[in-house]
Structure 1
Amino acid sequence: MRSFKALEATGFFEPVFGGDILPEAIETYKSNFADGAAYWGDLRRLNPSYIEPVDAAWLSPACTKFSLLAGSGGDSAGGYLEGMGMIYANLVLASQAKIVMIEEVIPYFSSRSYHHLKVMLKNEFPYWTERITGSGLDAYDFGSPAGRRRGYVVASRTPLDNFAWPEPQIPAHRRPTIEQVIGKEWEDRAPWREISGTVMEGLLNKSGNNNFRSDKNYTLVKPKDVRLAALVASYSKVQVTSSYLSHPDHPYLWRPFTSEEISRILDIPDDFFFPEEIAETKRTYMLGNSVDCRVVKAIGIEAAFHLMMDRLSDRSEPLPARNNRPAPTPARKVEDWLSADRNGQFSFIIGT
């Protein structure tokens, strides 16, 4: 749902349909997009005839089966037991979209599920461009203090000659601090906790020759720092691979980032909001499942440019006059030495 808000913020898109199995996500969608339709439930039960035609589709497949953080609870069969790729493809085809944008954790794109999705769409969407290897696209490169690596794919019915993957590189001296991103009110925004006697004490004392130590994962960060770890869906379960705020003047104090602060870190537009009845833990869960809006907006702008160029190249009639004014008409010739314009004003030719 945050992706829709980011696309809307570009000024080129208007969200008209969203689906999710989480009831809180649907309530949030309905609150932010009052004119859009929403589907709550298993997408396998959604009849494609309910899908209205759209220009663009944004697809974020379920990731828990493929995320490296899912642990043994995921689908270790690599998508062979999931089968959602065909469901996603059927809904995309029903939408009659001209372009499809897909986002997910990088391991997803090696799954059988993604293969099903791609093969089913190939006939209608023969043009594909992918960023699904290595680090994909990392939100940190787009100016976010939080690293968030995701794979992205764009598929189109027409050649993607006018689409280009954004390649930003923020100079180190231009990077915003965490304080600049979350606001200077960080000290009084939420209660602080002591390190001693809390789960944080155990995390900071983790040892061993592995990657699950606090010094490798930005577990505690200060307001003046410019880097923190990814803020995941299970953020409320305090863990070494997530970042938490350390008080710069009282190093024995720490606290989690609030959902408001996480929204700012992910660059979610200011007019996005959660309904009041949604609990803080559920808010951080939904935010942790979303992508950084900086990346979404950058891809969305390129997709909009592609769609607009397609529309211009297919236009068989001249563009309409701006402000609904009639198009200028040539001056009406009366005599060789006398002419009248469209407003009835005469012009004389003086001299020979």
Structure 2
Amino acid sequence: MNLKLKKVYSVSKKGKPERPRLFLQHLICEAAGFEPKGEIHIKILEEKEEIILQNFPFDGENDIHTVHVSSRKSKLSQQERPLIDTAGERYSFLDINQKVEMNVFRKGKKGRVVIKTLEYKLFENNTIPTPKDQRIRFLSLCAGAGVGTSILESTNYFTPIQEIELEDDSTEVLLHNFPNSMVFNGDLRDCMDVAEVDMAFVTLPCNEFSVLGGLESGIMDDLVLATSKILQSSKAEVLFFENVPSFFRSNAWDSLKSLLQEEYPYWAQKDIEAWDFGSIAMRKRTYAVAFRSEERFLHFQFPTPPKGRRKKLKDFLDRGNVAHEWKSIEKFMASFNSRAAWKERSLELTFVDKNVERISCIPKRYTSQCASNSHVLSEDKKWFRFLSLNEIKRILDIPETFTFTDNIQKIRKVEMLGQSVDGRVIKAIANRIAYTFMKVKTVATENVKKIKTSYSINNGGQLELLLT
């Protein structure tokens, strides 16, 4: 069986007197292929502090008990979604509120969940060997719903091997789009098992550094050590970072770079505006690429903006047979003019017609009625509407193969797209990284001589030394 999903969660309680409760929600049950009303066989290995649940019998085993899969109807899809809720003295070796990891294995219709106490070592991670692939194997750290992962995969040079993501609904979308990859669902500080890959794609939380994100201080400082552990354990040859520009001026970035510098001595970094690469949506981000190999680093250069005819908004809009909800501009302006805080705010990109070549950045909170968002203007200029999900996907150049499950609310779908990346820039940089792998065919051995001098190419294209 293949390991499909790892999830870390805290044991809860049930009943009086309180007993440890195993609550396997939809995400776990669906990943394992457990179906509503199906019979689940449970084996307890108390000496190992493990519990095994599977949807097929154990061969010749005693002391096995069974439960049946319950279900709950989804309000969105109207489908019965499986779940298991079991408690009892038999699980008493588990401490209430302690963290456990659920490991989901799957082969065809057979599924197994192994639950065991989480063992976390501050200075160690386990590297999971993976099959050599003809394409570049990569790990996505803070993968979100997997938009960046799908963009990399769409180049046909990269194969997704593992995704690490905190949010359950994003993990559901990851499992839906990348059935052959392994997902860790939980706080990255609890992630102990890391796949061996060729490249790591890193999109850490930007809440602390983005005005749109809320400037939540201290988030990244708490994640630096865990991030460096995961990246080093992955044995990746190349690290590919994307984030808002202010993140790369932070103490957290300096600390992370310092922790990685001995294994990744060569760095390149550049600010890129997605509009310059053909997008109509503004999205200025900083991109950094780190290398183990000097030779691979010397073959890398950031892509230059393409030349050609710029597309207009009309090139991305839905066809005329698609219905949309239109709102009154008169009502919007009445609300706008009533707010003193909005008096100085520009409306230049708030209402845009189909012939414009530039719109505002599409943020996570795009569904809010805000002057900072760009809305499609009607022909008579009396009405406006939000961009549809498909229009946003086309504007961000997200592959058509990337889809959502029926259980994700529309507002969450927009949020997942809004906090993702621009496909044109990611693909352009990814192609340059793939070029370095093609030029440097030999894989570095573990006994590489220790580098005494580290250097990077800064945003202005200048070579500079990195001080240890």
Normalising by the residue count of structure 1, what TM-score does the alignment of the two structures yield?
0.79
Counting strand residues as a fraction of each chain, which structure ranks higher? Answer: 2
How do residues 62-77 of structure 1 correspond to structure 2 at under 5 angstroms?
62-71=205-214, 73-75=215-217
User: SS of the counterpart of 1:224?
Assistant: coil
Q: 1:254 to 1:41 in 2, by over 3 A?
A: same
The DSSP-based 3-state class of the residue aligned with 2:441 is helix
Bigger helix fraction: 1
Instruction: Give the superposition deviation at 1:202.
Output: 3.0
What residue is the counterpart of 1:162 in the other structure? Answer: 299
Equivalent residues of 2:336, 2:342 under 8 A apart: no
Identity %: 28
Give the superposed CA RMSD: 2.3
Q: Is the Cα contact below 8 Å between 1:235 and 1:285 reproduced in 2?
A: yes
Letter in 2 for 1:196: E
The answer as to whether partners of 2:164 and 2:188 remain within 8 angstroms in 1 is yes
Structure 1 position 6 matched with structure 2 position 151: yes
What residue in structure 2 maps to residue 84 of structure 1? 223
1:9-44: CA deviation from partner (whole Å, max 9, x where unpaired): 111001111122122211111111100011111111
46 and 190 in structure 1: CA distance in 2 versus 1, 3 angstrom threshold:
same
User: What secondary structure does 1:214 align onto?
Assistant: coil
Aligned residue number for residue 188 of structure 1: 322
Partner of 2:109: none
State the match for 1:292 in structure 2.
422
Which residue in the other structure is 2:376 paired with?
Answer: 245
What corresponds to 1:341 in structure 2? none
Distance 1:225 1:80, change over 3 A: closer
Check 1:19–1:203 CA distance in 2 against 1; reply closer, same or farther (3 A cut).
Answer: farther
- The corresponding residue for 1:202 is 335
Structure 2 length as normaliser, TM-score?
A: 0.60
CA distance in 2, matches of 1:60, 1:167: 22
Out of 394, 398, 404, the position equivalent to 1:268 is: 398
1:158/1:26 CA distance change after superposition, 3 Å: same
- Residue identity opposite 1:195 in structure 2: I
Q: Is the 8 A contact 1:267 1:293 kept in 2?
A: yes
Q: Does 1:96 align with 2:235?
A: yes
Greater gyration radius: 1
**How much does 1:194 deviate?**
1.4
- Name 2:434's counterpart in structure 1: 304
Distance 1:210 1:305, change over 3 A: farther
**2:291 maps to 1:148:** no
Q: Map 1:16-165 to 2 at 5 A.
A: 16-47=161-192, 50-71=193-214, 73-75=215-217, 79=218, 82-131=221-270, 136-159=271-294, 160-165=297-302
| Partners of 1:85 and 1:115 within 8 A in 2 | no
Residue identity matched to 1:231: I
Q: For 1:160-184, what per-residue CA distance to the aligned partner results, in whole angstroms no more than 9, with x for missing partners?
A: 111110111445xx11111112343
| Residue pair 2:212, 2:363 contacting (<8 A) in 1 also | no
Equivalent position amino acid for 1:46 in 2: C
Q: Please list every run of at least 4 consecutive aligned residues from structure 1 whose deviation after the TM superposition is greater than 4 angstroms.
A: 204-211, 312-315
The answer to whether the 8 A contact 2:397-2:422 is kept is: yes
Q: 3-state DSSP class of the match of 2:226?
A: helix
The answer for unaligned runs of 5 or more in structure 2 is: 1-145, 446-468
- Mapped to 2, the partners of 1:235 and 1:208 lie a distance apart of 19
SS of residue matched to 2:298: coil
In 2, the alpha carbon distance for the partners of 1:207 and 1:286 equals 31
Shift of 1:68: 2.4
Where structure 1 has 5 or more consecutive residues not aligned to the other structure, the ranges are: 316-352
* Greater relative contact order (Cα < 8 A, sep 6+): 1
Question: In the alignment, residue 257 of structure 1 is paired with which amino acid?
Answer: L
Size of the aligned set, in residue pairs, is: 298
Q: Is 1:15 aligned to residue 160 of structure 2?
A: yes
SS in structure 2 of the partner of residue 25 of structure 1: helix
Q: Deviations over 1:70-108 (max 9, x none)?
A: 34x521xxx587321221111111111000000000000
Change (3 A) 1:214 1:206: farther
Alignment partner of 2:310 out of 166, 175, 188: 175
Question: Does structure 1 retain, via aligned residues, the 8 Å contact 2:161–2:181?
Answer: yes
In structure 2, the residue matched to 1:233 is: 364
Shift of 1:208: 8.6
Question: In 1, distance between residues paired with 2:400 and 2:415?
Answer: 19
2:80 alignment partner in structure 1? none
Q: Which amino acid aligns with 1:157?
A: R
Give the secondary structure class of the aligned counterpart of 1:182: coil
Alignment-mate amino acid for residue 405 of structure 2: P
